[in-house]
Amino acid sequence: MGRVPIQLDNIVVHHLNDEGNTLQFDVDVTWDGACDIKAKSKVLPPFGIANIELKGRMSFFMKPLSNVLPCFGAVQYSFTNTPELDLDFTGMAAIANSKTITNRVKKILDDILASMIVLPNRMLLKVDPSCTILDAFVPPLGIARITAIRGRGFVIEKRGFLADDVPDVYLEITLADRVCKTSVIWDALEPVWKESSDFLLCDHGQIVNIQAYDRDPEPYDPDDDLGSVQITVGEIILAGQGEEVELELQMDGKGTDAYVAIKCDVLRFTSSPTSYHKPLEHA
């Protein structure tokens, strides 16, 4: 895996309101490893990976705390969001600089990381053999209820000799490993949805990805990309203060002059049976 050490930066220690039984700290992790990895495939000749560059922010939870060394029973760790991953291939010249192969391998590695060590998934390392899963359990923050309210600024596609196309807009909203879609609003430059989706929330730094599409009725013609925007749950809450937030869609790093308005409410978990008889409290 190479000799380049992992770099740690921007360490933040959090105070948790759980009677002092948990220590959490977040840290930026960067690894630019000059590695030498050989890979085999059933459909391609052997090839290698000469360099892996990985960047992401990780959270560590030490729980339960004690006054006996090493002072905690277990540690849980995970990336807040899927880390950035860049690969440099060696070997077969035909794939060394192939964007298709690179993206395919990267997608496989992203899926593996997401299923193991990206929220809501965490890795657990027990330090005290007597520590149980219940002792080390760190509950989620709650449910992030994201509401797609409306959009504006979408334009008619000019088709020359063919009829102009008014977009049929829908949104694809992703948070962690859950993807939700709104309904399609047909022939609308200013679509209105007012639809909510619930996502498990483990950290306010988790990114919400909003992708807009123009639905194409033809079965073999993919839906047209209308732009996307990324924002963390914490940024939505701070910007909106409980109200809706309007975000400009981006494409190839540039604004599209099309906007979507969303709202995010965080619903806390409770163990009280009275919660069945009163509205959930927003964070």
Q: For the segment 89-111, what is each residue's pLDDT rounded down to a tens digit?
A: 776 544 555 677 777 778 888 88
Across 5-9, 41-45, 210-214, which has the greatest mean pLDDT? 210-214
Give the pLDDT band (50/70/90) at residue 2: low
Instruction: Determine which of 62-76, 89-103, 179-193 has the lowest per-residue pLDDT on average.
Output: 89-103
β-sheet bridge partners, residue 266: 144
214 Cβ contact list (under 8 Å, min separation 6): 157, 165, 167, 168, 169, 223, 224, 226
**Secondary-structure percent of the chain, ordered helix, strand, coil, rounded to 5:** 15, 50, 40
CA distance 252 to 74: 43
CA distance 23 to 17: 10
Residue 272 DSSP code? -
Q: How far is CA 264 from CA 82, 178, 223, 243, 249, in A?
A: 21, 16, 27, 8, 18
Q: Is 225 within 8 Å of 191 (Cβ atoms)?
A: no
H or E segment at 39? strand 37-39
Instruction: Determine which of 87-101, 160-174, 191-205 has the lowest per-residue pLDDT on average.
Output: 87-101
3-state secondary structure of 139: coil
239 Cβ contact list (under 8 Å, min separation 6): 245
* Tens of pLDDT, residues 144-164: 999 999 999 999 988 777 777
81 Cβ contact list (under 8 Å, min separation 6): 56, 57, 118, 119, 205, 206, 207
In the numeric block, which tokens belong to residue 5?
A: 């050490």
CA distance 68 to 74: 13
